[in-house]
Chains A and B, each alone.
Chain A
Amino acid sequence: MFVNNDVKNAMAMEERHVIKLSDPDHPVILSTEDLHVYYGKKEALFEGDLEFASNQISALIGPSGSGKSTYLRSLNRMNDRIATVTGKIMYRGVDINQPSIDVYEMRRRVGMVFQRPNPFAKSIYDNIAFALRLRGVTGKHKLDEIVETSLKQAALWDQVKDDLNKSALALSGGQAQRLCIARAIAIKPDILLLDEPASALDPVSTGQLEDTLLSLKEHYTIIIVTHNMQQAARISEYTAFFNQGRVLEYDTTSHIFTNPSVQVTSDYVSGNFG
Chain B
Amino acid sequence: MNSKTQNKIAIGGLYGIAGLVVLILLALLGYILASGVPQLSWHFLTAPGKAFLKGGGVGIQLYNSFYLLILAMLISFPIALGAAIYLYEYAKDNWVTTTIRTAIEILSSLPSVVVGLFGFLFFVVKLHLGFSILSGAFALTFFNLPLLTRSIEDSLRTISDVQREGGLALGLSRWETVTRVILPAAVPSILTGVILSAGRVFGEAAALIYTAGQSAPALDFTDWNPFNISSPLNPMRPAETLAVHIWKINSEGIMPDAKAISSGSSAVLVIAILLFNFAARYLGKRLYKRLTSA
Contacts and interface: CB of A to CB of B under 8 A. Distances in A.
Interface stretch (A54-62, A102-110, A205-213, A261-269): A102-110
13 contacts: A76-B169, A107-B168, A111-B169, A114-B165, A114-B166, A121-B184, A134-B176, A163-B294, A167-B293, A169-B292, A170-B294, A180-B166, A187-B171
B170 interface: yes
Interface of A: 76, 78, 104-108, 111-114, 116, 118-122, 130-131, 134-135, 163, 166-167, 169-170, 180, 183-184, 187
A170 B293 contact: yes
A111 B291 contact: no
A102 to B, nearest CB: 9
A113 B169 CA distance: 8
Contacts of A111: 169-170
B294 A118 contact: no
A2 B292 CA distance: 54
A184 B293 contact: no
B166 A105 contact: no
A169 B170 contact: no
B169 A184 contact: yes
In the A-B complex, list the 4 residue pairs whose CB atoms are closest, starting with the nearest: A108-B171, A170-B294, A121-B185, A112-B169
Contacts of B168: 78, 107
B101 interface: no
A104 B173 contact: yes
Contacts of B173: 104
Nearest to A112: B169
A139 to B, nearest CB: 19
Interface string B172-215: 11001000110011000000000000000000000000000000
A120 B169 contact: no
A134 B180 contact: yes
B163 interface: yes
B165 A78 contact: yes
A186 to B, nearest CB: 9
Contacts of A134: 172, 176, 180
Given A112-B165, A120-B163, A121-B163, 18 more contacts: A78-B168, A104-B172, A104-B173, A105-B171, A111-B170, A118-B165, A121-B292, A122-B291, A130-B180, A131-B172, A135-B171, A163-B294, A169-B292, A170-B293, A170-B294, A183-B170, A187-B170, A187-B171
B185 A78 contact: no
A116 B162 contact: yes
Which of B166, B180, B291 has the most CB atoms of chain A within a 10 A radius of its CB?
B166
A254 to B, nearest CB: 31
B160 interface: yes
A108 B292 contact: no
A101 to B, nearest CB: 12
A140 to B, nearest CB: 19
- What DSSP secondary structure best describes chain A's contact surface? mixed
A261 B198 CA distance: 68
Nearest to B180: A130
A167 B292 contact: yes
B77 to A, nearest CB: 21
A201 to B, nearest CB: 16
Given A167-B292, A170-B294, A118 B171 contact: no
A167 B294 contact: yes
A234 to B, nearest CB: 25
Given A78-B165, A104-B172, A108-B170, A118 B160 contact: yes
A184 B170 CA distance: 7
B160 to A, nearest CB: 7
A135 B173 CA distance: 12
A263 to B, nearest CB: 36
Interface string B254-294: 00000000000000000000000000000000000011111
Contacts of B160: 118
A169 B172 CA distance: 20
A113 B176 CA distance: 19
A104 B293 contact: no
A121 B182 CA distance: 9
Contact of A166 (B162, B181, B293): B293
Nearest to B169: A112
A53 to B, nearest CB: 22
Nearest to A133: B180
A119 B172 CA distance: 15
Contacts of B167: 120
A111 B171 CA distance: 8
B170 A131 contact: yes
B292 A107 contact: no
B128 to A, nearest CB: 47
A45 to B, nearest CB: 19
A118 B291 contact: no
Contacts of B169: 76, 78, 107, 111-114, 184
A20 to B, nearest CB: 29
A131 B171 contact: yes
Contacts of B291: 121-122, 167, 169
A121 B294 CA distance: 12
Contact of B181 (A105, A112, A120): A120
Nearest to A102: B171
